[in-house]
Amino acid sequence: MVNDNMNKVKVRYGPSPTGIPHVGNIRTALFNYLFAKNQKGQFLLRIEDTDQNRLVPDAVEKIKDSLTLLNLNWDEQIIYQSKRLDLYKKSLEILISKKLAYQDEGATRFKIKTDKNSIGWEDAVHGHIEFPTNVLEDFIIMKSDGFPTYHFASVVDDHDLEITHVMRGDEWISSTPKHLLLYEALGWQPPKFVHMPPILGPDKNKLSKRHGAKSVHEFIDEGYLPEAIINFMAFLGWSPQDNQEIFSLDELSKVFSLDRINKNTPIFNIEKLDWFNKEWIKKMSDDALSHEINKDFPEFNVTQIKDILPLVKDRIGKVTEFKNIANLFFEKPNLQANKKEIAIKIEIFTKIINSLKKLNPWGASDISTAVNKIMEEEQLTKSQMYKSLGIAISGQLITPPIFPSMEKLGKEETIDRLKTAHKVLQK
């Protein structure tokens, strides 16, 4: 009879609370999450806090935030290795009784004892990996402060929690033989190993703060949507079978598979993230996007934002850019900055103002007709005319469509702004 529970996939994300996790770390969490969901298994969060010297007070909170901001929800409660010392002690005693562990200056070392001359495993992404055993040295499993090292704690925990797949960074490849020996010594079946390449910076070095080694929080503060961050990270080292690029977290869970994880190290490319973000802004409903924008700009209310969103949506690449583009609807323009770019004469301003004054009703197409008429009479180019009007009503170089913006602003306000521009030009 097959025990269902035995086959159920169970993975863990095991950060050490030594700081705020950057996107490289979070991608490891994402892949663990996606695999668990894909397999209808479980995704555990285990805090690997066995190094008492490097603990950072707020780190666990930051780790939890980073995951929840992206909707990467873990199953069950968080596991703290520091609270499971008894468990390691029990396994340690087994090793001692088998004479496979011995004291060394207050610490305990594991004795490498094997008659094989190589030790290997089938890695889910790298295929067969094999190490000669003669390069292995007795290593410390229990430190003199009574805490286990990573090697020991992770092996004991993974077995105790019935982890089926250890998904972690490539940097653990060379210590996997040690782990395998530990499993053997304790008489346990090792899990499947899935080693994922690290993300590199554009300089092909380790991801630095300057490039992408930022926390999820920082990216969101800069105006990136969680959906875009997830989508981007998923494509760093993994690809789907077809050419689809835009995936939600749910969609990713459906198609994710281990055998499509790449072996080589991807480079963090912010331009691609920007593109994913633009796509997600386009894809998002006005309602949802308005709420996102509202988080960044609490001074505007959601209704206001939603009202003008259709005019500006195409022009914003990041949520934080909303204000730059939409500012004309909230504040009087600062004309000084781009005054020099106004390409039409004062007399023409007067003509436009007089013509617009007569307009009734006030609508974008009527404004357009009136303005275009003057444009032809004065033999102005569209570029000259529209650019000048855009600056006059917004003070900005990049503006929403001008006539609909004027309509939204209202007749009085528009004419008022044109008059102000007129005055500024006279000086």
Partner RNA sequence: GGCUCCAUCGUCUAGUGGCCUAGGACACCAGAUUCUCAAUCUGGUAACACCGGUUCGACUCCGGUUGGAGCUACCA
Q: How far is the CB of 332 from RNA (least distance, A)?
A: 18
Which residue matches tokens 């913006």? 405
Closest to 215 in 3D by CA, of 202, 229, 199: 229
**Angle 253-277-168 from CA coordinates, rounded to 5°:** 45
Asked if 410 is part of the footprint of RNA (rule: CB under 7 A), the reply reads no
Asked if 145 is part of the footprint of RNA (rule: CB under 7 A), the reply reads yes
Alpha-carbon span 64 to 271, nearest angstrom = 27
Report how far Cα 143 is from the mean position of its chain's Cα atoms: 36
Residues 295-314 that bind RNA (CB under 7 A): 314
Asked if 275 is part of the footprint of RNA (rule: CB under 7 A), the reply reads yes
Asked if 269 is part of the footprint of RNA (rule: CB under 7 A), the reply reads yes
Buried b (16+ CB within 10 A) or exposed e, 396-414: beebbbbbbbbbbbebeeb
Closest to 149 in 3D by CA, of 204, 96, 110, 202: 110
- CA torsion sign for 136, 137, 142, 144 is negative
Q: What is the pattern of x (binds RNA, CB under 7 A) and - over residues 333-372?
A: -------------------------------xx--x----
Asked if 278 is part of the footprint of RNA (rule: CB under 7 A), the reply reads yes
Name 375's Cβ contacts closer than 8 Å, sequence gap at least 6.
382, 385
Site for RNA (CB under 7 A): which residue of 80, 150, 188, 362? 150
Asked if 250 is part of the footprint of RNA (rule: CB under 7 A), the reply reads no
Site for RNA (CB under 7 A): which residue of 111, 143, 332, 408? 143
Asked if 138 is part of the footprint of RNA (rule: CB under 7 A), the reply reads no
Site for RNA (CB under 7 A): which residue of 186, 366, 404, 420? 404
Residues 1-30 that bind RNA (CB under 7 A): 14, 16
Q: How far is the CB of 334 from RNA (least distance, A)?
A: 16
**In 94-148, where do the E strands start and end?**
101-104, 107-110, 118-123, 127-132, 139-142
Alpha-carbon span 82 to 138, nearest angstrom = 24
Would you say 221 or 341 has its CB closer to RNA?
A: 341
Residues 193-212 that bind RNA (CB under 7 A): 197-198, 200, 204-206
Asked if 236 is part of the footprint of RNA (rule: CB under 7 A), the reply reads yes
Q: How many residues bind RNA (CB under 7 A)?
A: 78
Residues 104-123 that bind RNA (CB under 7 A): 104-107
Asked if 262 is part of the footprint of RNA (rule: CB under 7 A), the reply reads yes
- 110 in helix, strand or coil? strand
Site for RNA (CB under 7 A): which residue of 78, 288, 337, 398? 398
Q: How far is the CB of 223 from RNA (least distance, A)?
A: 15
Closest to 297 in 3D by CA, of 277, 283, 318, 315: 318
Q: How far is the CB of 5 from RNA (least distance, A)?
A: 27
Alpha-carbon span 220 to 396, nearest angstrom = 25
Residues 52-81 that bind RNA (CB under 7 A): 53-54
Site for RNA (CB under 7 A): which residue of 210, 217, 260, 373? 260
